[in-house]
Amino acid sequence: MSRTPIIAGNWKLHMNPEQTTEFVDAVKDKLPDPSKVESLICAPAVDLDALRKAAKGSNLHIGAENCYFEDEGAYTGETSPKVLKEMGMDYVIIGHSERRGYFHETDEDINKKAKAIFANGLKPIICCGESLETREANKQEDWVVAQIKAALDGLTAEQVSSLVIAYEPIWAIGTGKTASSDQAEEMCKTIRETVKDLYNEETAENVRIQYGGSVKPANVKELMSKPDIDGGLVGGASLKPESFLELVNYQD
Ligand SMILES: O=C[C@H](O)COP(=O)(O)O
């Protein structure tokens, strides 16, 4: 398998620029070889300048937690994907369940954002995942497949080969309840099969799929041992340098 694992911290609404600099200074010389594991921090927009300055010249990839689908205009409070690229970002997380839930983002918004991100030479991390209610009704596969189809609509096979999909069951986010590695693998496999149906085998083999939801040093190895899990999108356990380093160095 030629997919490079990708472990990403999603800092959500935590950390300020000073804490960002301190964090990056503490981790930047202890990160794994990027050909073995890609290490990524996605930070709040107000921290991105500090993040890029601190990460300069290191193996740390950097990204934003969200952006808008227009590059510029009268959109008060939004973040331009064009400017994110100019700032040196590599990735943008889109479609996180917190964005879908609290900020009413739709599948259509997420698809537009994915296109804008590619148009600016960045890579999206597209989040998907079901609620507890949907899982209890055993409708999680249909739900996630529909999210993926909507998010990828109109993207080329080449684009899909280079993006990252993060499967994050909402009931496992910040709750301490990790999906079992078998549950996580089952859905990541379904997502890969969906990409194969929509595109082709090669694209499905190339796309990287992360699991997110209470990933921590204690469970990262088990999750990463699964064939269709190529990484983790990590909230709480990415906020401390020691914990982040344990996650990205899970192969040691
Ligand atoms: O994007 C990250 C996820 O929402 C997971 O957060 P968590 O690791 O705190 O459960």
* Pocket (CB within 6 angstroms of ligand 1): 10, 96, 168, 173-174, 212-215, 233-237
**Token pair 């590619």: residue:** 118
Residue 196 CB-half CA count within 13 A: 10
194 lies in some domain: yes
166 lies in some domain: yes
Return the best residue to mutate from 7, 65, 170, 234 for the ligand 1 pocket (most ligand atoms within 8 A of CB): 234
1 lies in some domain: no
78 lies in some domain: yes
pTM: 0.97
Task: Give the CATH number for residue 184.
Answer: 3.20.20.70
How many C-beta atoms surround the C-beta of residue 77 within 10 A? 6
Which residue, by CA, sits nearest to atom 6 of ligand 1?
Answer: 235
Overall number of domains in the chain: 1
- Average confidence score pLDDT of the chain: 97
What angle is formed at CA 86 by the lines to CA 25 and CA 94, rounded to 5 degrees? 80
CA dihedral 7, 13, 19, 22 (to 10 degrees): 10
pLDDT in the model for residue 176 = 77
Q: Give me the domain span that covers residue 144.
A: 6-248
Distance between Cα 251 and ligand 1 center (Å): 21
Residues serving a catalytic function are 96, 168
Local structure of 72: helix, strand or coil: coil
pLDDT at 1 over 70: no
pLDDT at 108 over 70: yes
